[in-house]
Amino acid sequence: MRITIFGATGLLGKHLVEKWNTDEVVGLGSKDADIRDPQQAWNAVYRTHPDWIVLAAAYTDVDGCESNRELAFDVNCHGAMNVARAAKRHGARMLFLSSDYVFDGTGNTPYEVDHQRAPRSVYGQSKAEAEIRLSEIMPDACIVRTSWLFGEGGRCFPDTVLKLATSRSEIDVVDDQRGSPTYAADLAHAIAQLCSRDASGIVHATNRGDCSWFEFAREIVSRAGLTTIIKPTTSDKFVRPAERPKYSVLSSSSLEKYAITMPGWEDALKRYLAARKLTES
């Protein structure tokens, strides 16, 4: 198959291009195609002639989206619609990356794919609207929701914690938000499998298991062999422009329907730390 990846310079995009070795892959960054421009989106699709398009390009600065609503919707929603229309015109299949932020985070059991969307942030609203519009343009599109993405080659929570741990004896981390850390390398592999199996509809894809940000940080520091003390705190001590979901664990049943399973987040963290160490040596 021929695969075109929009957002190839981002954290997930880099892993998609690197790990996807079973097909002919073309990676495009924003300099190659600005998806906010319908003509650029079409030109990129026409030029690369894909069987599948993976749209990983997004404006992911969750707090920045709050003060840049127009930009958030231009990229995350209208840009996605431009790519979807180009895909439909070309006759290609499409996989769109979405987020746990489409939910309100008030639940206490893993979210199924048919749970009602109720985003509480501009970022979440832009992704939720994109999901709806994409389904109207391409009913057979595959929408993959994920959460708490991390990996080498970009900014992420483990990288931030490790950098802080080298200069501080203690770090306060919120313990009242719960989700599933997801390693970009594992997500990239799952996406490749979904495309190969002609997946459609909404799929939840995260590493197995869940934890709080505090528990995640404590595990990061411990596995890295550092002595920094991780102290639990609450979200009201770290007020941010965008509201974070308190609970955003996604059910894996939709992924398992395609006979795909992802490793546990602790195993993923171990492999991330080993890969990060190699890149630093």
Say if 125 falls within a structural domain.
yes
Within a domain: 201: yes
pLDDT at 153: 83
Residues catalogued as catalytic: 123
The Cα angle at residue 36 between residues 33 and 41, in degrees rounded to 5: 45
C-alpha span between 171 and 126 (Å, rounded): 32
Say what the pLDDT of residue 260 is.
98
Half-sphere exposure of 275 (CA within 13 A, CB side): 17
Residues in the chain, total: 281
pLDDT of residue 279: 72
The closest alpha carbon to 6, from 64, 80, 103, 65, belongs to: 80
> By residue range, what is the domain housing residue 202?
2-152+182-208+250-262
Instruction: Tell me the C-alpha to C-alpha distance, in Å, between residue 245 and each of 62, 67, 87, 223, 276.
Output: 12, 19, 32, 27, 28
Residues of the chain whose pLDDT is less than 70? 280-281
Q: Do the Cβ atoms of 137 and 81 come closer than 8 Å?
A: yes
Let me know if residue 102 belongs to a domain. Answer: yes
Please report whether residue 233 resides in a domain.
no
- The number of domains in the chain is 1
Domain assignment of residue 106, yes or no: yes
pLDDT of residue 51: 98
Q: Would you state the pLDDT for residue 281?
A: 57
* Predicted pLDDT of residue 17: 97
Based on its alpha-carbon atoms, the radius of gyration of the chain, rounded to whole angstroms, reads: 18
In a domain, 166, yes or no: no
- Whether residue 158 is contained in a domain is answered as no
With respect to residue 216, please indicate whether it lies within any of the assigned structural domains. no
| CATH number of domain containing 22 | 3.40.50.720
